[in-house]
Chains A and B, each alone.
Chain A
Amino acid sequence: MRRNGVVVKALLSVYFWLFLAFLLAPLVVLVIFAFDNSTTATLPLEGLTTSWFSEAFTNGQLTDALLRSALIAVFAAIIATTLGLMASVGLTSERLRLRSLTVASLMLPLVVPYISLAVGLVILLQAMAVQTSLTAVVLGHVVIALPFAILVLLPRLRTLDPSMNEAARDLGASDLTAFRLITLPLLGPALVSSFLISFVTSFDEFAIASFLAPSGQPTYPVFLYASSRTPALLPQVIAIGTLVIALSMALVLIAEGGRRWVEKRLVGDEEFADEVSEENLAEGLVMVAKS
């Protein structure tokens, strides 16, 4: 019996590690070809080079697209975090009516296929006689980032000790002052986390941007798609891609790790903070997953 269990555990371990290799393989392949001195992404490798990186950074269209995406992502993240904060504070109200319906509506973009969102936005713009624009891309990205912002902010808001707020008000602070001086600072790390996760979501988003970005102003993923069809541009795309992979991984890890560290300081109760951030970490991961 015991022996049987050991075998099963060993098999499960092997399965897990093989699967991990399968999951990481495409990323490793990308990184390898980013440094391969060949114009095609084929084996055998032809030598080490960093020229694709320098070429990519002198490609004005590519750097423009990166900047454009970064700018869109900043705006989308600010708006999504603001709306997410409003929604989260509102959802903590015990007297809220139609709560299930409200939550379901706010979380809807998590499950709706992005193409139906994108098509809907295209049609909405047409109905309002507005041209597609980068502003429209920002609005579309706010919709998909909003559930993630709420999923980061709401659990954190719920773990705040309400007695602190009550103490502030007993001492004569108005609700708004109490919110500004007590809740907001305590929420700081979660707000940063929400901003970064919304940023990454927007920065990588292709479906909506491919419909809404005007043809002369591609976002980075739209440019990436277009140039992946041009063999001459492929090595540059791969080079920039590996940089973006590294950066977005770093960003999310910093967002989560940093927040965890700060919240530990703020909460003081280490065990409790651990509990909170472990659960939020997994949420953070899911958020990125959707992008």
Chain B
Amino acid sequence: MDAELSGHRYRLAGGCGLLTGQEATLERSVTRPPGRRWRPGRGLLVLPPLLFVALLIFAPIIYITLFSVGLRSNIPGAEVAFSLDNWNSFLFGDNNPFRARFFYSMRVALLVSVVTTIAAYPLAYFLSFVARERRYTLLLLLLAPFFTSYLLRVLAWQIMLNDEGVVTWAVRAVGLIPDDGNVSWLIYSTFSVSLVLFYTWVPFVTLPIFAVLENMDHRLLEAAQDLGASRWTTFWRITFPLSLPGVIAGFVFVLIPTTGEFITPLFVGGADNQLFGNSIQAFFGTRDWSLGSVLAMALIVTVVILMLVFGRFLNTDLRATTGGDDG
């Protein structure tokens, strides 16, 4: 087991933003003198939290499935029978509005994730290679907006972007549009929804990229330059490929939560820019939950697929946190 552990590369690629020093601390904790085991059964302590999470996350998924095939209903006295009608109309129905909403949502999520990751990379690169000893202070500044509630930040954007808002005022002031004019796509548009999501996620994506850049073996970069590579070549041949795990982790950390986003469109989205999360939200008021459950299941399946595809990039991070080694 010791050999297995020491042979393990603790890559700090992850989206949880683990930074330097982890390797050293892990080393410390795993090289315990042999024969001096801690109390047996300590591992059992994970059971209560695990059961709690299982009850509140996994149990509902079973119920959502039952609702989605008509085996349960929230409407008192309604007939309960197995039926795939809701699934059929969502998946194959002609012009199903919710399926269209789903694809619109995924397009927005993908666009936001790509643009966010591209914008975050230079920030991480700046912190790691240019800012040097000030990098943690500047990182703190970059993440400062995150200390504040998400709702308030979205509200602030609504205040800035609305028809009489700060941005419109500024655009009028510089004379780009007439004094009573408006920029039609500034709010209640795909643009405004994407902009606010972009704003929310950029600092978050910077963290995993920063983490890989920090943990990169800088001797490789020196070697490349000693061998005559230009900075440009060094970046594209060494730095960038080595930072890819962080890039992908950051990308996935935006993509997955964004697939279920519903708060931003509530404030800055128009009727046409509501996301799939809003469709789900709308169904779980007083309406029949069966169709809502189909949508919720579609979202959960999407998230599970994304996690299966990209999970290993997130997993490296969790391993680094816990020193796990049985998988």
Q: Are A103 and B324 in contact (CB under 8 A)?
A: yes
User: Are A102 and B156 in touch, CB under 8 angstroms?
Assistant: no
Contact of B280 among A23, A115, A124, A225 (CB under 8 A): A115
Within 266-300 of B, Cβ neighbours of A (below 8 Å) are at: 266-267, 277, 280-281, 284, 289, 292-293, 296, 299-300
A100, A113, A119, A283: the one contacting B326 at CB < 8 Å is: A100
- Shortest Cβ distance from B138 into A: residue: A16
Is A258 at the interface (CB under 8 A from chain B)? no
| CB-based contact B263/A204 at 8 Å | no
A59 at the interface (CB under 8 A from B): no
Interface residues on A, range: 35 or more
The digit string for B300-311, where 1 denotes a CB below 8 A from any CB of A, is 100100010000
User: Taking the complex as formed, is A211 at the interface, i.e. its CB lies under 8 A from any CB of chain B?
Assistant: yes
Interface contact B326-A99, CB-CB below 8 Å: yes
| Residue in chain A with minimal CB distance to B26 | A158
A225 touching B266, Cβ below 8 Å: yes
**Cα(A122)–Cα(B72), bound, Å:** 14
B residues near A225, Cβ cutoff 8 Å: 151, 266
User: Is the pair B46, A96 in contact by a Cβ cutoff of 8 Å?
Assistant: yes
Size bin of chain B's contact surface: 35 or more
Q: B57 and A221: CB pair below 8 A?
A: no
A114 proximity list for chain B (CB < 8 A): 257, 260
Is B207 within 8 A of A279, CB to CB?
no
User: Which A residues are CB-close (under 8 A) to B123?
Assistant: 15-16, 19
A207 at the interface (CB under 8 A from B): yes
Q: Is A151 an interface residue (CB 8 A)?
A: yes
Nearest residue in B to A211 (C-beta to C-beta)?
A: B284
Of residues 78 through 118 on chain A, the ones whose CB sits less than 8 Å from some CB of chain B are 83-84, 86-87, 89-118
Interface residues of A in 236-268 (CB under 8 A from B): 237-238, 241, 244-245, 248-249, 252-253
A1-45, CB < 8 A from B? 1, 4-5, 8-9, 12-13, 15-16, 19-20, 22-27, 29-30, 33, 40-44
Closest Cβ of chain B to A214, distance in Å, is 14
- CB-based contact A289/B146 at 8 Å: yes
- B161-172 CB mask vs A (1 if < 8 Å, else 0) is 000111001000
Q: Which A residues touch B131, using CB under 8 A?
A: 16
Q: Tell me whether A154 and B318 are in contact in the complex, defined as CB-CB below 8 angstroms, given that A41-B159, A42-B169 are known contacts.
A: no
Interface residue? A47 (CB, 8 A): no
- Selecting from B28-36, B82-90, B94-102, B179-187, the interface stretch reads B28-36
Q: Say yes or no: B160 contacts A29, CB within 8 Å.
A: yes
A139 to B57 alpha-carbon distance, docked (Å): 11
Given A22-B199, A154-B322, the answer on whether A248 and B147 have CB atoms closer than 8 Å is: yes
Docked Cα-Cα span, A5 to B299, in Å, equals 46
Report chain A residues within 8 Å CB of B259.
Answer: 113
Contact of B219 with A by CB under 8 A = no
Please tell me if B106 contacts chain A, counting CB pairs below 8 Å: no
Q: Is the CB of A123 within 8 A of B60?
A: yes
Q: Which of A50-58, A140-148, A186-194 is found at the contact surface with chain B?
A: A140-148
With A143-B52, A221-B151 in contact, do A155 and B262 touch (Cβ < 8 Å)?
Answer: no
In the complex, per-residue mask of A267-287: 1 if CB is within 8 Å of any chain B CB, else 0 = 000000001101101110110
Alpha-carbon distance A166/B199, docked complex (angstroms): 49
A92 touches B29 (CB 8 A): yes
A186 to B77, CA, bound (A): 57
**In the assembled complex, which residues on chain A have CB atoms less than 8 Å from the CB atom of B9?**
none
Tell me the residues in window 172-230 of chain A with beta carbons closer than 8 Å to chain B beta carbons. 175, 200, 203-204, 206-207, 211, 221, 224-225, 228
A121 contacts B by Cβ under 8 Å? yes
Known contacts A40-B164, A103-B318, A143-B56; A285/B21 CB under 8 A: no
The answer to whether B159 touches A120, judged by C-beta atoms less than 8 angstroms apart, is no
Proximity bits, A133-176, B CB within 8 Å = 1, else 0: 00000011011001000010011001101100110000000010
| Interface bits B126-158 vs A (CB < 8 Å: 1, else 0) | 110011000010111111111111111101111
Q: What are the nearest 8 A-B pairs in CB distance?
A: A113-B260, A120-B60, A90-B46, A100-B327, A26-B156, A90-B45, A93-B43, A96-B43
Would you give 7 A-B contacts (Cβ < 8 Å), ordered by A? A90-B42, A105-B50, A112-B256, A117-B57, A228-B155, A283-B17, A289-B143
Known: A100-B326, A224-B155. 18 other contacts (CB 8 A): A12-B125, A13-B130, A16-B127, A25-B160, A41-B159, A83-B48, A90-B42, A107-B318, A115-B262, A143-B56, A162-B36, A204-B151, A206-B263, A237-B155, A253-B147, A285-B140, A285-B143, A285-B207
